[in-house]
Amino acid sequence: MSTMLEVKNVTKQYGDGEARVVALDGVSLSAGKGDFIAIMGPSGCGKSTLLNVIGGLERLSTGEVELEGERIDNLDENQFVGTRRGKIAYVFQQFHLLSSLTAIENVMLPLVLAGNNTDHRDEAMQILKKVGLEKRAAHRPSQLSGGEQQRVAIARALVSNPSLLLADEPTGNMDQKTSKEILEMFTRLNQEGQTIIIVTHDPAVARLAGRIVFLQDGRVVEDRD
Amino acid sequence: MKLYEMVAKDAMARKRRLLFAAFGIVIGIMTVVGILTVAKSGRAQIYEQLERYGPNLTILPAVSSVDMRIGNLSLGQLGVGENYIPEEKVPVVREITDRLIRESLEIKTDAPIATVSPELYATTQVRGTSVMVVGMDAEAQKAIKSWWMIMEGAYPTGQNEALVGHTAASILGIKVGDTVDIGDDKATIAGVLEETGSIDDAQLFIPLRMVQKAVNKEGLVSSISIRALCTACPVSVIADEINATVTGVRAVAVKQVAETEMGMVERINTFLLAIAGITLLVGLFGVINTMMASVNERIRDIGIMRAVGASRNQILTMFVYEALVIGILGGLAGFVFGTLLAFIIGPLIFKGAAISFVPSYLGVSLGLSIIVAILASIYPAYRATKVKVADSLRSL
């Protein structure tokens, strides 16, 4: 199995001197294509920071991150835009949809920003069908339930056909039933070959993943299949 | 969907914020358009009031070697001598002046426009004293010397009526109703002038025909004073045309008066525009403020867009689009309200001035408004591109 992601001895510190906080303290991790990895650990263990560093939302202090054999940790903001357009996509706990746009427009957003001049409505509609929301395409986020919003967010992440899907507590705000639906969706996507890294503190969520990485105080304390 | 469509949708969702931002510009543009419109409409009125400064063009006999007359000054001892202008030049000069004004102002009417006042100066004996008498066309003279005030009696209207200067009246001991001998004719004093502080005080103003007859200068005049009011045609242009086409005369533009008039109008305009500029500047800071608030309240949205693949330039572009919308809204509303403002305050500033709608100021206000909106957006938009994605998305 080819290597998708290589995290090499990554550290991340905030602040200086007395106020210095070490969020990541030498994390190494490797993920193959098609992996479904859950990152677990108590609050403040650095699991979200790790996801942000992998996704380029935050800069690391030392170490390296390679995606499909290429270093991405040293890219500047503008260069990283290319990585966000198609290689890495996010699903957030708070969904982070644009409230002024409808569901389908939110899904189209990454394609619009990537800037090819075709009409993206059909592509976006296909993905919305995949997450079972084709009937809600014209609704705004405020008219959708939490589960529906998260499905729109997943559709938005999938529309650019990313190599790596990062999800930060994607079911954190949901009741059990909705949570189950979302997780089933992740499982199905993984079965279709999608590489997924999911951050969670919920063991039930983690159980679905093929591999669980435990973080504590910014270090990997356990990595098991 | 295109990027601008997205901005438009977003803008529709935040109408109030946008209108608020545009408001700052509207106030500024409104002031500029209002002032420009009032100034334009009031200019005619300003010129009308400036007529009080006397003639702005004087026609003298070509042969005279020295400036015989500058405004009202240095006339006293001048030997008008043998230098005269044939009276038939008067309608010619009037025709040229009116034609030039008509052409430059695109007026169709054939009615006389400029005031043309022929004058004949002579020294003659009145009641045993040597006095300067001025032969005049009473009506034209009155229009030229609009500052004249009658102290006693009335302004002469009849054929044999005369007007006497304040000093001349007391030296000669004449009153309203008296008659004086002018050559073989008798002139009745219709009125006495209030003191003017000029040479007029020592003169006697008598119908032109009477003076011509008395001093044997029938068909001749000493000079022609012209009041040619025309913003678009400087009097020097009229003077040049007269000098080029009429023989035997020399037209002199009374530059001092003309330049004072122009300078006054210019200064008023500059002052008003300075006020408008300051208002616009205040509006600019208002927009910067609103745009900053707009950036701050959209930090999360900016973060989301960055996270799903927006480049910094795209974020910048979105804010520029937004500035354009604000600029266009502000320019349109500013023009409408500015014109309304002009209709309200115009008549207060220039009493009775007819304010006219100036469509070409729409372009001016749109242009200014867009420039101000873009200027105001530069810093906020720059700040927007510097938003840290992870920070903006962190749940609070």
Does B1 contact A121 at a Cβ distance shorter than 8 Å? yes
Chain segment A172-198, per-residue pLDDT in tens: 878 888 888 899 999 999 999 999 999
Q: Residue B196 above 90 pLDDT?
A: no
**How many domains would you assign to chain A?**
1
Does B13 contact A109 at a Cβ distance shorter than 8 Å? no
Global ipTM: 0.91
What residues in B contact A141, CB-CB < 8 Å?
none
Nearest chain A alpha carbon to B310:
A113
Domain annotation covers residue A189: yes
> Does residue B176 belong to the interface with chain A, where contact is any CB pair within 8 Å?
no
Structural domain range at position A216: 34-58+79-224
Q: Poorest-confidence range of A111-125, B51-65, B72-86, B201-215?
A: B72-86
What residues in B contact A97, CB-CB < 8 Å?
304
Euclidean distance between CA atoms B203 and B215, whole angstroms: 16
Determine the straight-line distance between the first and last CA of chain B, rounded to whole angstroms.
32
Chain segment B69-100, per-residue pLDDT in tens: 555 555 544 444 457 888 888 888 888 888 88
Nearest chain B alpha carbon to A117:
B2
Helix, strand, or coil (residue A39): strand
The strand pairing partners of B118, in sequence order, are B224
| Reported confidence tier of residue B337, pLDDT bands at 50, 70, 90 | very high
Domain annotation covers residue A174: yes
Domain annotation covers residue A2: no
> Does residue B396 belong to the interface with chain A, where contact is any CB pair within 8 Å?
no
What value does the mean pLDDT take over residues B318-337? 91
What is the number of CB-based contacts under 8 A between chain A and chain B?
71
pLDDT at residue B229 in the model: 62
Domain annotation covers residue A44: yes
Q: Residue B232 above 70 pLDDT?
A: no
pLDDT at residue B77 in the model: 46
Domain annotation covers residue A10: no
Does B390 contact A77 at a Cβ distance shorter than 8 Å? no
> Does residue A58 belong to the interface with chain B, where contact is any CB pair within 8 Å?
yes
CATH number of the domain at A179, please.
3.40.50.300
Q: Residue A92 above 70 pLDDT?
A: yes
pLDDT at residue B80 in the model: 44
What value does the mean pLDDT take over residues A17-36? 90
What residues in B contact A86, CB-CB < 8 Å?
309
Q: Residue B65 above 50 pLDDT?
A: no
Nearest chain B alpha carbon to A53:
B390
| 3-class DSSP string for chain B | CCHHHHHHHHHHHCHHHHHHHHHHHHHHHHHHHHHHHHHHHHHHHHHHHHHHHCCCEEEEECCCCCCCCECCECCCCCCCCCCCEECCHHHHHHHHHHHHHHHHHCCCCCCCCCEEEEEEEEEEEECCEEEEEEEECHHHHHHHCCCCCEEEECCCCCCCEEEECHHHHHHHCCCCCCEEEECCEEEEEEEEECCCCCHHHHEEEEEHHHHHHHCCCCCEECEEEEECCCCCCCHHHHHHHHHHHCCCEEEEECHHHHHHHHHHHHHHHHHHHHHHHHHHHHHHHHHHHHHHHHHHHCHHHHHHHHHCCCCHHHHHHHHHHHHHHHHHHHHHHHHHHHHHHHHHHHHHHCCCCCCCCCCCHHHHHHHHHHHHHHHHHHHHHHHHHCCCHHHHHCCC
What value does the mean pLDDT take over residues A191-212? 90
| Reported confidence tier of residue B49, pLDDT bands at 50, 70, 90 | low
Here the tokens at position B241 are: 């045309």
> Does residue A112 belong to the interface with chain B, where contact is any CB pair within 8 Å?
yes
What value does the mean pLDDT take over residues B288-310? 89
Output the average pLDDT for chain B.
Answer: 82
Chain segment A108-134, per-residue pLDDT in tens: 999 988 876 677 888 899 999 999 999
